[in-house]
Amino acid sequence: ALARSVLVTGSNRGIGLELVRQLAASPQPPEHIFATCRDPKGPRGKALQELAAEHPSIKLVQLDIVNLPSIQGAVQAVGSHLKDQGLNLLINNAGVSSHATLCSLDMQEMLNVFATNVVGTLQVTKEFLPLLQQAAKGAGKQGLSCSRAAVINISTKLGSIGLCLGVTEAPMYPYRASKAAQNMVTRCLAAELQDKGILCAAIHPGWVKTDMGTEKAPLTVEHSVQGFLTVLASLSQDTSGAFLDWEGNSLPW
């Protein structure tokens, strides 16, 4: 199995929902799949509710990544399920987009995007750190892997400063800047958590047909997630702190 326990943020649609679906349907599914979103029991969580009804391994957890009490409540809920075994794999998938240009940029929009994509991601990781450390210590394994303990941040090549070469690309100032900042967060986490036995990596899932990616995207969510999970299974000490795409290729920072 990829990991005994997995938590996915933003799992009520798109890539998050497909991650939960494929994890639950895998030949060796995780024992615990924590599917989180802001309102798992509401109308936007309908697909997730139906999936959870089919797979007892899926536990629905309320989690708003920009609300600290919500994050702390999710940590308590997850911890009560896991007892003393800890959380093996945290996938920070929740995020927001913005197509703002220089002319249309609004300060509050910029702050809101950073609050979710950077601060929210880091705060979730901070609050779940004790459960990740517990898993890393109790796994009885050497080296780094997703089956021991890992934090995976869903990134995008649009956050790559090295690839931002042409003015013809969509500026998307808040989104791209926030993802570049999130990439730095990933590198810092990898450096700090390596000695604690926790792997960290940033993965670009491709341009995917989702609400955020739109129907113009060339990649289906099923294909993207298949590749994504294959990459997760291959991560090791050598790839902690890496920025990879859904096919395992390294991307420039």
Q: What is the DSSP annotation of 214-229?
A: -TT-SB-HHHHHHHHH
**From CA 216, how far away is CA 25, in angstroms rounded?**
28
Q: pLDDT digits over 86-117, tens only?
A: 999 999 999 999 989 889 999 999 999 999 99
Question: What percent of the chain is modeled with pLDDT above 70?
Answer: 94
- Region 223-236: mean pLDDT is 97
- What pLDDT, on the 0 to 100 scale, is given for residue 138? 85
Tokens of 128: 């779940």
- List the domain boundaries for the chain: 5-244
Tokens of 71: 């994050």
**From CA 7, how far away is CA 30, in angstroms rounded?**
10
Q: In what order do the strands lie in the sheet with 243-245?
A: 58-62, 32-37, 5-8, 89-92, 150-154, 199-204, 243-245
Tokens of 1: 């199995």
- 200 sits in which H/E element: strand 199-204
Q: pLDDT digits over 169-221, tens only?
A: 678 999 999 999 999 999 999 999 999 999 999 999 988 877 665 666 678 99
Tokens of 217: 């995207």
- What pLDDT, on the 0 to 100 scale, is given for residue 170? 75
Range with the poorest average pLDDT among 206-215, 225-234, 243-252: 206-215
What is this structure's pTM?
0.95
- 244 sits in which H/E element: strand 243-245
- What pLDDT, on the 0 to 100 scale, is given for residue 1? 85
> Do strands 243-245 and 58-62 pair parallel, antiparallel, or not at all (unpaired)?
unpaired
How many other CB atoms are found less than 10 A from the CB of residue 157? 18
Q: What fold, for 5-244?
A: Rossmann fold (3.40.50)
- What pLDDT, on the 0 to 100 scale, is given for residue 217? 66
Place of tokens 């791209």: 176
- When pLDDT is cut at 50, 70 and 90, the band that residue 164 belongs to is confident
CA distances from 17 to 57, 148, 151 (A): 14, 23, 18
Q: pLDDT digits over 144-162, tens only?
A: 999 999 999 999 999 999 9
Q: Average pLDDT over the chain, rounded to whole?
A: 93
Task: State which amino acid sits at residue 43.
Answer: P
- When pLDDT is cut at 50, 70 and 90, the band that residue 168 belongs to is low
Question: What percent of the chain is modeled with pLDDT above 90?
Answer: 85
**From CA 56, how far away is CA 50, in angstroms rounded?**
11
Q: Indicate the DSSP class of residue 209.
A: S
